[in-house]
Amino acid sequence: MTSATDSPSPAVPRLIATDLDGTLLRDDKTVSERTVAALAAAEEAGIEVFFVTGRPARWMDVVSDHVHGHGLAICANGAAVADLHANGKLIEVRPLARDIALDVVRTLRAAAPGTSFAVELTTGIHYEPAYPPLHRDPGATVAVAEKLLHEESPGSGAPVLKLLAHHAELAPDDFLALALTAAGDRACFTRSSPTALLEISGPGVSKASTLARCCAERGISPSEVVAFGDMPNDVEMLRWAGTSYAMDNAHPAALAAASGRTASNNDDGVARVIERILAERPSADSDATDAASTR
User: Considering Cα of 138, then 64, then 20, then 120, what sign does the dihedral take?
Assistant: positive
Residues belonging to the chain: 295
Residue 78 has pLDDT above 60, yes or no: yes
Spatial distance between the Cα atoms of 175 and 32, rounded to a whole number of angstroms: 34
Residue 34 has pLDDT above 90, yes or no: yes
Over the stretch 152-175, which tens digit does the pLDDT of each residue have?
888 889 999 999 999 999 999 999
- Looking at residue 154, its pLDDT comes to 84
Spatial distance between the Cα atoms of 12 and 107, rounded to a whole number of angstroms: 46
In the structure, what pLDDT confidence band is assigned to residue 24 with cuts at 50, 70 and 90?
very high
Over the stretch 222-251, which tens digit does the pLDDT of each residue have?
999 999 999 999 999 999 999 999 999 999
228 near 21, Cβ under 8 Å? no
The domains of the chain are located at: 10-93+206-289, 98-201
Burial 211-246 (b: 16+ CB within 10 A, else e): bbebbeeeebebebbbbbbbbbbbbbbbebbebbbb
223 near 14, Cβ under 8 Å? no
Over the stretch 251-288, which tens digit does the pLDDT of each residue have?
999 999 999 999 999 999 999 999 999 998 876 444 43
Domain 10-93+206-289: give its CATH code: 3.40.50.1000
Model's pTM, two decimal places? 0.89
Q: Which fold has domain 98-201?
A: 3.30.1240
Residue 4 has pLDDT above 80, yes or no: no
Calculate the average pLDDT of the chain.
Answer: 89
